[in-house]
Structure 1
Amino acid sequence: MDFLMYMLPWFGFSLVVSGMMVFVSERKHLLAVLFSLEYIVLGIFMLLSFYLMMMVDLYFCLLFLAVAVCEGALGLSILVSLVRSHGSDYFMNFSVLQC
């Protein structure tokens, strides 16, 4: 039990760092960027739940999880609409000047 309590923050921090590394690196697909954002949100959720579990109740974690689910659903809906309009999820196919 003690080992899990010490390793949970490090695992959450490693999820946030790996998600940021993928997000910052040059990716060609929008889906990879959305996955990296979800890794960041999952890591922040793990860190937040660990620290709030020690200090107060977990109601704020439920609110954060609800916002994270809405963010994921919004990202997937944007991905679906871009694939339908442009044919793929490559970043090079998206143009701001195209009407």
Structure 2
Amino acid sequence: MLLDYVILFSMLSGIIVFCSTRKHLMLSLLSLEYMVLCLFLFLFIVMLNYGGELYFTLIFLVFTVCEGALGLSILVSLVRSQGNDYLSSMSILSW
């Protein structure tokens, strides 16, 4: 029961950091990965408590790695085209 509240607090702190990050894309990506890690921990605990199959957590991790690779590719593309990772330098027209 206490672990559920700790995970919920961690998830909410990750959401607050993600919403307050306005300068660097790298900080936004790190806060997204932190939230995904909290979600994975919560999913793992729920699957253990209710006797579910843990293969679903493996599939979740695969999608998490794909999301991380996509975020890093966007970061590399932004740094190569703009020279920095500021969110203010991103524009829809430059893609």
TM over 0.5, yes or no?
A: yes
The offset of 1:94, in angstroms, is 1.7
Extract structure 1 runs of 4+ deviating beyond 3 A.
Answer: none
Extract unaligned runs of 5+ from structure 2.
Answer: none
Extract unaligned runs of 5+ from structure 1.
Answer: 1-5
Identical-residue share of aligned pairs (%) = 50
Q: Are residues 1:83 and 2:74 paired? A: no
Pick from 19, 26, 32 the counterpart of residue 24 of structure 1: 19
The offset of 1:57, in angstroms, is 2.1
Q: Are residues 1:53 and 2:48 paired? A: yes
Instruction: Answer yes or no: is the 8 Å Cα contact 1:31–1:79 preserved in 2.
Output: yes
Q: Are residues 1:44 and 2:50 paired? A: no
Q: Alpha-carbon deviations, 1:20-77, whole Å to 9, x = none?
A: 0011114200001001101110111000000001111211111111111110111011
Q: Tell me the amino acid that sits aligned with residue 63 of structure 1.
A: I
Q: Are residues 1:10 and 2:10 paired? A: no
SS of match in other structure, 1:88: coil
Q: CA RMSD in A?
A: 1.6
Instruction: Give the TM-score taking structure 2 as reference length.
Output: 0.88
Q: Count how many residue pairs are aligned between Structure 1 and Structure 2.
A: 94
